[in-house]
Amino acid sequence: MNNAEIVIQAMREAFGANEYPGDNFLQGSFEGSEPYTVVAPFKGRQDWQSLDAPLLDANEAALSFFSVAGLRFFLPAFLVADVREALQTAEPLFVLVHGFSDVSITHPTKTRAFVRKTGRTAFVNPRRYGGMTFYDYARWRLSAFTREEARAIVAYLKYKRDSDPLDLHTQEIKAALNLFWLERAENAPPAESLRQHLAEEAEYLAAISEDQSFTNP
């Protein structure tokens, strides 16, 4: 297999068994109509591997408006399509690297030149989130991925880094790898621990239900 095929296979192995979160748990933002519009086409799509590139391109903003569960389930569809070079407008790389390095631009006005900054040390929205930076937000949102999923994402990031002859995103990818993804790939909870936790919770709830049935005939 070539490098692209290796990354795609890694995605299938890491994400292939994930359960669909449910229609009511896909949307993470409810401000304005855009989040609903771009997330709605993914409702009922219980097999992310069946999604085609035109659908992903047409609703690329969903990557920003998915809930954490929605992002975890549908992100691999975007990553696989990207590796296949099938996407025209969607840029899933941004979701994985934004918040780990700073980007600044100078905006001159009549009175002075303002430096506008986004990325690692920039505040998300102090009125709502206080001292939360985009770095804090990225770590929180991306912490949903298990060890196996993070390893597949690392493979994708390295593939994107090595296949970027103009180095357009090299520094962003390196920062994301060094500040988050490499460590996540080594120390995140493995998928088996999630399955074990869910099984234990189900057993516990069943026991409680049985106790309540016994005490309340």
Residue 54, number of CB atoms within 10 A of its CB: 12
Strand 113-119 with 102-108, pairing: antiparallel
Q: Predicted confidence band at 209 (pLDDT cuts at 50, 70, 90)?
A: confident
How does pLDDT run across 103-121, given as a tens digit for each residue? 889 999 999 999 888 899 9
pLDDT of 215 over the 70 cut: no
Better pLDDT: 1 or 21: 21
Mean pLDDT over 80-102 rounds to 97
How does pLDDT run across 39-79, given as a tens digit for each residue? 999 999 999 999 999 999 999 999 999 999 999 999 999 99
pLDDT of 214 over the 70 cut: no
Helix H or strand E encompassing 207: helix 191-215
Measure the CA–CA gap between 68 and 19, rounded to whole angstroms: 14
- pTM, two decimal places: 0.91
How does pLDDT run across 16-28, given as a tens digit for each residue? 999 999 999 999 9
- Percent of the chain predicted with pLDDT > 90: 88
Decide: helix, strand or coil at residue 8. helix
> What's the burial of 96, exposed, middle or buried (CB within 10 Å: 0-12/13-18/19+)?
buried
pLDDT at 197: 96
